[in-house]
Amino acid sequence: MSRLIDSFAELLGRAPRRKPVREEVSSEITDLHNRKRSDKTRIANIKIELAHKAQHKQPEKLRRKRWAVLIAVNLLFVLSFQLDIQMLEGALTASRFVGFHFADLNAALQVMLAYKHVVINLLIGTVTVFILWWLLGGRTFCSWVCPYHLLGEWAEILHLKLAQRKIVRDHPFDRRARAWFWLIFAVLALVSGYTVYETISPTGILSRALIYGPGLALLWVAVLLLFEIFYSRRAWCRYACPIGLTYGLVGVTSPFKVQYHLESCFHEGECRKVCLVPHVLQTVIKGHARELDVDIGADCTRCGRCVEACPTGSLTFKFKAPGDLI
């Protein structure tokens, strides 16, 4: 139960738990750290492998596959509209796939708060999407479907190149801001009767622009991307987007996780360098893990970049049995 509470609190912006003191970790974990510390050959081999990787940068295969899935999903909307094949109608906010209603969970919440009644089709769409994203892990939506995520990743590549040349530097914000944004837009929908967030949601703006053609709202998306390139790395998805938080909340009890294995980890930290939400990987820092196998928190987007970056295979995808979720 405590890991669920931690996961929930971290989503709302609480800092990850502090490093445990010696008395808080089992003797099994202490012995394991001692054994690993003395394995000098393994440590040296990992360093050689990392130096080789840095010189001969390989394409991230899973990342490419994920981009292909994300583009394919968004293309399906476009083609369905352009060719009028009615397989997938609507946009990411609300759609119908071969007759089944789907609704983005945050948009559905905004609509319910704004109009103060629940339409049956919206309810069906919300429940269907809830079950789907619960099974896949809520924030899987972000890295595998959201069109802004893809642009955000490309902006991040530019940001990192500029940062490497010391032209820009990252300015992190307080992660609690996202929960406040979520609350403010919920209250705005309730009191104004409008789905206010939808007017500034880069996810909705991009999805509609792809399907129905570009509009002035794209300027807002451009401003966000420029802000991320020149001022704050992945700022929107890290500190602001209420959709990300909604899906994160769905994913708190999801059976699909990224799992960390202390036994094989040598704490070189490659995973944290590539992660959109590195606070969820605090447990990989030497001395932080409280268990041998640790579920990564619900803010994780299941993008798989850490799984691919880890030189020791210490992060894996895992489907958990129902009894093992709490």
Residues within the interface to ligand SF4 (CB under 6 A): 142, 146, 148-149, 202-203, 236-237, 241, 243-244, 258, 274-277, 280-281, 296, 300-306
Bridge partners, residue 293, by sequence: 261
CB 182 → ligand SF4: shortest distance, Å? 11
Residue with smaller CB distance to ligand SF4, 69 or 85:
69
Q: How far is the CB of 121 from ligand SF4 (least distance, A)?
A: 23
Q: Which amino acid is at 72?
A: A
Q: Residue 294 has which token pair?
A: 């640790």
To the nearest whole angstrom, how small is the minimum distance from the Cβ of residue 302 to ligand SF4? 5
User: Which residue number, 44 or 157, has a Cβ lying nearer to ligand SF4?
Assistant: 157
Please identify, using beta-carbon distances, which residue of 119 and 160 lies nearer to ligand SF4.
160
For residue 258, the one-letter residue type is V
Helix (H) or strand (E) holding 72: helix 61-82
Tokens of 90: 């609507």
Indicate the residue whose CB is closest to ligand SF4: 244
Number of residues that this document lists for the chain: 326
CA separation, residue 74 to residues 67, 99, 140 (Å): 11, 18, 15
Q: Which is nearer to ligand SF4, 173 or 191 (CB)?
A: 173
Task: Output Rg (C-alpha) for the chain, integer angstroms.
Answer: 21
Q: Where are the beta strands (DSSP E) in 16-168?
A: 88-90, 94-97, 100-103
CB of 208 to ligand SF4, least distance (A): 14
In the structure encoding, which two tokens stand for residue 231, read together? 């001022």
Tell the smallest beta-carbon distance from residue 185 to ligand SF4 (Å): 12
Closer to ligand SF4 by CB, 155 or 258: give it.
Answer: 258
